[in-house]
Amino acid sequence: MWSGATRAPPTSTSDETCECLLAYLSVGREEFALELFQQAQDLRSEEGYYWTGIVYPQRVHFPGDERSTYTAAAVVLAADALAGASAASGLFVDHDLLPEVALGESHQDEPSLD
């Protein structure tokens, strides 16, 4: 258990950076979302894969040399959301595309699930 006596080194992960980008994009912060995507490029390998994470200032990849499929998926979703390249590009950022229930609308006329 971390006691607070030592400080964990700064880290960054590709997937969490891209998930954060989607959140900023969904509230209209497009410029900051683009900055986050540019930061995620720091974790791109020469072969085009994305490292799961990195520890600074040593620039050591963690865990190990992992390049996970969930990391790749997050990068693809973020790139699509920024570029608007596919029909699904607005899935996480355009609230008008969400069904009413996802927006927290009241459903008083519907039976309770209790």
Per-residue pLDDT of 8-53, as tens digits, reads: 788 899 999 999 999 999 999 999 999 999 999 999 999 999 999 9
pTM (two decimals): 0.75
8/84: higher pLDDT = 84
Strand, helix or coil for residue 48: coil
Phi, psi of 42 (to 5 degrees): -65, -20
Mean pLDDT of 73-96: 91
| CA–CA separation, 32 and 96 (whole Å) | 22
Which of 56, 29, 33 lies closest to 43 in space, CA to CA? 56
More reliable by pLDDT, 26 or 102: 26
Q: Please, what is the end-to-end C-alpha distance for the chain in angstroms?
A: 38
- Return the ∠ at Cα 35 (arms to 33 and 37), rounded to 5°: 70
Q: What is the pLDDT of residue 43?
A: 92
Kindly tell me if the per-residue pLDDT of 4 is higher than 50: no
What is the pLDDT, as a whole number, of residue 109? Answer: 55
